[in-house]
Structure 1
Amino acid sequence: MKTAVIYWSGTGNTEAMANAVAEGSGVTAVQVSSFEGDVSEFDALALGCPAMGAEELEDTEFEPFFSGIEGKISGKKIALFGSYDWGDGEWMRLWAERVKSAGAEIVNGEGLIANNTPDDEAIAKCRELGKKLV
């Protein structure tokens, strides 16, 4: 199964989560700005983005990327993850709804979130998420 772990991180928190998901799935995590593949060629995607602003996806790199692939993810296995500083995870619930509406299968329900720096438990959950994805 061809799998990619693609993320955006401003503080390193979501990057730490991405690296743990990648470790669990046996692939290398790639920053969204460095991703050069075609998502149509992948069976499974792990997508990571923290909550920004009013609980939204990061809007200069990740949101444009996700909007661009939204029409290509139908039928794919998707794992969502990201960190947040405040709020209740609304950005993840909204993102999960977009993924479901696009016809993809979310392997981790409503997504995996960690408050600020992911602790050991959150990192372990990320590794498990990577294993579940593949």
Structure 2
Amino acid sequence: MSKIMIVYWSGTGNTKMMAEQIGKGVLSEGGEAEVLEVSGVKAEALKEVPVFALGCPSMGDEVLEEGDMEPFVEELERFVSGKKIGLFGSYGWGNCEWMRDWEERLKKAGAQIVNGEGITVLGEPDAETLENCMILGKSLAMS
């Protein structure tokens, strides 16, 4: 089993909390997790990685964070075909359109979304969301 990279951007700490819980899920299955802020990772680092997770909250008009995460995802789209990706993030308003758009973008690029859809939560992750993040981590470790 290779190391599972969990790359995220977080403004308030909610998405970071989700990333850390996904890492715990990976560890619970005997895997190795690396939880990293997107600003410290180059997309190229994921080129040979078959399974990973990406997290970002909804920003502005239900879009990805534009300074770090959007350019990172744009670069990833060139080589994610065949990869299994877990998606997650929090939001403050809206109806999770940013997550549906993100899922669709990556599917169009040939990626498989682990567990079929991304995990979203309004505001701070509650117990159910944290359990779903743990399950996502376990799924990533078993992929």
Pair in the same fold by TM > 0.5: yes
Partner of 2:38: 32
* TM-score calculated relative to the size of structure 2: 0.90
RMSD: 1.1
What amino acid does structure 2 have at the position aligned with 1:29?
Answer: V
TM-score by length of 1: 0.95
Alpha-carbon contact 1:84-1:116 (below 8 Å) kept: yes
- Percentage identity across paired residues of the two chains: 49
Q: Unaligned regions of 5+ residues in structure 1, if any?
A: none
CA–CA separation in structure 2 for the residues paired with 1:115 and 1:29: 22
**Structure 1 runs, 4 residues or longer, greater than 6 Å off:** none
Structure 1 letter corresponding to 2:14? N
Within-5 A mapping of 1:39-78: 39-78=46-85
5+ residue gaps, structure 2, are 28-32
Shift of 1:46: 0.4
| 1:8 matched residue in structure 2 | 9
Residue 114 (structure 1) aligns with: 121
Which AA in structure 1 matches 2:72? F
Provide Cα deviations, 1:14-48, integer angstroms capped at 9, x if missing partner. 00000001111130210001124611121101000
- Deviation by residue 1:60-95 (Cα, 9 ceiling, x = unmatched): 010011101111111011000000010010000000
